[in-house]
Chain A
Amino acid sequence: MNSDIATNRLSQDQYQANFSDISAVLNGWQAAVESERCLYCFDAPCVEACPTDIDIPNFIRKITNGNVKGAAVEILKANILGGSCSRVCPTEILCEQKCVRMDKEGKPVLIGKLQRFSTDVLMATGQHPFVRAADSGKSVAIVGAGPASLSCAHRLALHGHSVTLFEAREKPGGLNEYGIASYKVIDDFARRESEFVMAIGGIDVHYGQRLGDNLTLDQLRADYDAVFIGIGLGGSNAMGVEGEDLDGIMDAVDYIRDLRQSADLSDLPVGRRVIVIGGGNTAIDMAIQIKLLGAEDVTMVYRRGPDQMGATEHEQFLAQTRDVRIRFWAKPVGFSGTDGKVGSVEFERTTLDDKGRLSGTGETYSLEADMVFRAIGQKLVPLSGDGERPETEGGRFIVDENYQTTLAGVYAGGDCVEGLDLTVEAVQDGKLAAQAIHRQLGGS
């Protein structure tokens, strides 16, 4: 069968409908009713489950009491990217999983939606609720402008330090701008949120600046009082399988980046039969979005079972209810095609051996595909160039409890350090690193 990759598979109305907001947004009345379900727990388990320590009962009570902007400030003072976290956080494994309402009712207070409601109200005012302290005379360089870096920059600016962000791409926001599924952050939200964060003042941004390319760590360390690295994981893992270089096989993150930056979704090439290899949220985002772009048949293939999947149950549900088929317990062992284009993928069934290790069974099956996406994880791109570099372990920068790398005065956070690779965790990394940098600079 000939490879079938085409643009313009849907009408403009269909693109519009498919890529509208995936989340049912609460209106004021719904938010008020939902907020009243919160029991205002003492030592609330939801707060403990929030990586950024948002005082959840307090912000919800403010919504109940009609102090919606106060609620937003309560969120943002702990998590300046509370707006994007309310859209992308896997609340079902964080705050909402720990809601005491789960115990008897199995239905948590909709914390994420309440957070979105209140932060949306505040951001719609166009006002920035925090005031920068007097200029400290200290300056900090931040490499990258993703969630960890924006969070770090805001907290440092709040303390009066001058911050310069160096971003390799053309826009701030990191994965919020280039990586998150489009229907989770509609209406250019990542850009608007980045502008909101930087509205505190004292933050400069230089785009097109890449560490090891036109930027060196030595120079930053010489020019600034401290450096924070929040460069994420820029590289994609390869499968190491024969035929991987055929046309039509590509990295999911690259395709999603193009999708997110596309002015017209009908320009994107879309295969009729698509296979996504991987089991994380990127794999899910890829599978759903290619389906919504008009692919006829989308299959995710993951080498382990649903319980081991990086994507949460909720994400799996999203995929399956959008007509994405998920196949478990199989790994790709070969790609074949004609004229240099991929046509099918050979999978070997997998199982766990008696020691719990994954192994192939030797049994194989083949699936036809016009497009294949790799979504099997990201990796740190090693810093190139001369000079001292922070040490890594397991492909991530080593940091101490203050987020300081093995180089004095150089800090790191977000996906480029060890962790859960969640936006909310990156925000916390950036915030805590900023506090440590502030202390290093003589603050308290």
Chain B
Amino acid sequence: MADLRSNLAGIKSPNPFWLASAPPTDKEYNVVRAYQAGWGGVVWKTLGEDPPVVNQTCRYGALYGTDRRVIGFNNIELISDRPLDVNLQEIKKVKKDWPDRALVVSLMVPCEEQSWIDILKKVEQTEADGIELNFGCPHGMSERGMGAAVGQVPEYIEMVVRWCKKHSSMPVITKLTPNITDVRYPARAALSGGTDAVSLINTINSITALDLDQMSILPSVDGKGTHGGYCGVAVKPIALSMVSEIARDKEAGGLVISGIGGVENWRDAAEFLALGASNVQVCTATMLYGFKIVEDMIDGLNNWMDEKGHGKLDNFIGAAVPNITDWQYLNINYESIAVIDQDKCIHCGRCHIACEDTSHQAIIATKVNGERKYEIDEPECVGCNLCYHLCPVPGCITMKPINNGKPPLQWVNDPRNPANGAAK
């Protein structure tokens, strides 16, 4: 059995699976159910100043995949709509009852030092393990000068983080918004302010769908709609990229990262960890399937780690970071071509039509004794991978490396690079 114990900036949890600050962590009842199900930690839904915010009735939008599976999700819900004291009392009680689990409190108050001093004092009394600064919410709160409105201005991030470190001894996790051009700038600002960790990504500005009868975006609130924060498995690629950008940044590279965005299973989590995250936070998947999904997250990660000989998380956290580079440093002399396993081919012909219509005309459709056959035209194949991805049969199309005898060459050194030509 691998050791799944996790340590994020001094905040310990029995496993790296936390629930993100969101509806599932709104109150004691939910959080206790999560801990009972096995979640290693929870970031309590964002607390703000009293009076509490008021939420809309229609809060969610969805993007559906096959069989009505929700693959993308968005919301226009605001921060906790319960009185601050009620939340604080429950946090204190839950932390006392579940000492081995991580309990972090998400906060969002106006950009005034006194507001932060006041709430930090109150949170500290709950004996929670740390705080997470919600600089991410893209809707509702940002219009009030909070959430993403702060997260989009690195100077504000640095300022608020500094206040929190100055007025509290709790570890500070700074949650970053993806609604910016380059995530490294807010990450560097959080680091300058003294943050103990960053968490990312928060949700993405989005409209998931329209009601074409009402000509209203969804969710439709009495015929009108507004953009919401996008999440769910569809955002994972964006989140992985942003995590990797920070992990391999010269300045911010040392930052402790809590990975968020589309984590549905142990493999997603392992990917975030391999890109440098110390743990992951999950929300949407539980909102679609309930808290029980953590069971296989733990079991699956455990089995994979055992199989790979990773005794503990640190063995592979960040292991993929050295293999991320910029395009110009890729080996331009590396060649591969597609290979179709004729025994596995079911003759759907999609590789052919995709290559023929949209790519390099490198898959030939023939008939042999009346049977369809699809074959790679090797000289025409540029190894683009399109067919590999669209083939419905796993393992039917593979990419075969070609031994072309050429030494590795980066574009920066390639004589075909006009920049090099100009230098000569």
A104/B346 in contact, CB under 8 A: yes
A42/B67 in contact, CB under 8 A: no
B348 on the A face (CB < 8 A): yes
B392 on the A face (CB < 8 A): yes
Shortest distance between the CB of B103 and any CB in chain A (Å): 41
Partner of A42, one of B68, B346, B352, B392: B352
Interface size on A, residues (CB 8 A): 14
B339 on the A face (CB < 8 A): no
Q: Chain B CB within 10 Å — which of A36, A41, A45, A101 has the most?
A: A41
Shortest distance between the CB of B254 and any CB in chain A (Å): 46
B225 — which chain A residues lie within 8 A by C-beta?
Answer: none
Determine the residue in chain B with the shortest Cβ distance to A43.
B349
Partner of B347, one of A33, A36, A45: A45
B67 — which chain A residues lie within 8 A by C-beta?
Answer: 33, 36
B66/A39 in contact, CB under 8 A: no
B349-372 CB contact bits vs A (8 Å, 1 = yes)? 110110000000000010000001
B346 — which chain A residues lie within 8 A by C-beta?
Answer: 100-101, 103-104
The A-contacting residues of B in range 2-45, CB under 8 angstroms, are: none
B320 on the A face (CB < 8 A): no
Chain B interface mostly: mixed
Shortest distance between the CB of B356 and any CB in chain A (Å): 8
A42/B66 in contact, CB under 8 A: no
Give CA–CA (A44, B67) in the complex, Å.
Answer: 23
B393 on the A face (CB < 8 A): yes
A42/B349 in contact, CB under 8 A: yes
Partner of B350, one of A33, A40, A101, A104: A40
A42 — which chain B residues lie within 8 A by C-beta?
Answer: 348-350, 352-353, 365
Give CA–CA (A388, B199) in the complex, Å.
Answer: 90
B348/A100 in contact, CB under 8 A: yes
Give CA–CA (A39, B392) in the complex, Å.
Answer: 8
A41 — which chain B residues lie within 8 A by C-beta?
Answer: 347-350
Give CA–CA (A42, B387) in the complex, Å.
Answer: 13
B350/A39 in contact, CB under 8 A: yes
Give CA–CA (A44, B346) in the complex, Å.
Answer: 11
B372/A45 in contact, CB under 8 A: yes
Give CA–CA (A42, B364) in the complex, Å.
Answer: 12
A100/B347 in contact, CB under 8 A: yes
Shortest distance between the CB of B353 and any CB in chain A (Å): 4
Determine the residue in chain A with the shortest Cβ distance to B353.
A42
The A-contacting residues of B in range 207-245, CB under 8 angstroms, are: none
The B-contacting residues of A in range 73-108, CB under 8 angstroms, are: 100-101, 103-104
Give CA–CA (A104, B350) in the complex, Å.
Answer: 16
Determine the residue in chain B with the shortest Cβ distance to A38.
B348
Give CA–CA (A32, B69) in the complex, Å.
Answer: 12
Give CA–CA (A43, B347) in the complex, Å.
Answer: 9
Which residues of B are in contact with A by a Cβ distance under 8 Å?
66-68, 346-350, 352-353, 365, 372, 392-393
Known contacts A41-B349, A42-B349, A42-B365; 10 further A-B pairs (Cβ under 8 A): A32-B68, A36-B66, A36-B67, A39-B348, A39-B350, A40-B350, A42-B353, A43-B365, A44-B349, A100-B346
Q: Which 3 A-B pairs have the closest CB atoms?
A: A42-B349, A42-B353, A103-B346
14 A/B residue pairs, CB under 8 Å, sorted by A:
A36-B66, A36-B67, A41-B349, A42-B348, A42-B349, A42-B350, A42-B352, A45-B372, A100-B346, A100-B348, A101-B346, A103-B346, A103-B347, A104-B393
